[in-house]
Amino acid sequence: MRITTWNVNGLRAALAKGFIESVREMDPDILCLQEIKSRPEQIPAAAMQELTRLYPYQTWNPAERPGYSGTATLSRIPPERAATGLGSAEFDGEGRVVIHQSGALHLYNIYFPNGRNDLSRVPYKLDFYALLLEQCDRLHQAGQQVILCGDFNTSH
């Protein structure tokens, strides 16, 4: 199984720059997108039709705020269960998480919060990490497998 993760920094802009052609070349089974900055209905119809042809199983998690954040997982493989968010009102409005589960495997597509240059969102980011790690620990303790992918928004 080939999984590709990509921060597209705006899916509509990426579509105008050859996104679909690039995806065809990479040929992933599952495509995890971050910072989509759009809702499915905002994607041009022809592009959406082609994405759906390539990836019939799609889970979109756009942010409540227009033009901000958001994640989408596009798959050729049907998940047994798909979910959005971490189950916390504090974090889920920003559209940062899509989870696809198949059997004991949980694939998390995540656009992690940025701490900001002034460090004002570092506490928010650390709280997000803590909740995610709690969930992963519970899954591991239950014998489940977890794959985390996405934009970790972390640097030296």
User: Rounded to whole angstroms, how far apart are CA atoms 28 and 3?
Assistant: 6
Residues 35 and 60: beta-carbon distance below 8 Å: no
Residues 150 and 109: beta-carbon distance below 8 Å: yes
151 is catalytic: yes
H-run or E-run covering 84: strand 81-84
User: Per the structure block, which two tokens stand in for 104?
Assistant: 């004991």
User: Rounded to whole angstroms, how far apart are CA atoms 153 and 87?
Assistant: 21
User: Rounded to whole angstroms, how far apart are CA atoms 18 and 11?
Assistant: 11
Pick the catalytic residue: 27, 29, 137, 151?
151
Residues 99 and 82: beta-carbon distance below 8 Å: yes
Token pair 């052609």 is found at 21
Residues designated catalytic: 151
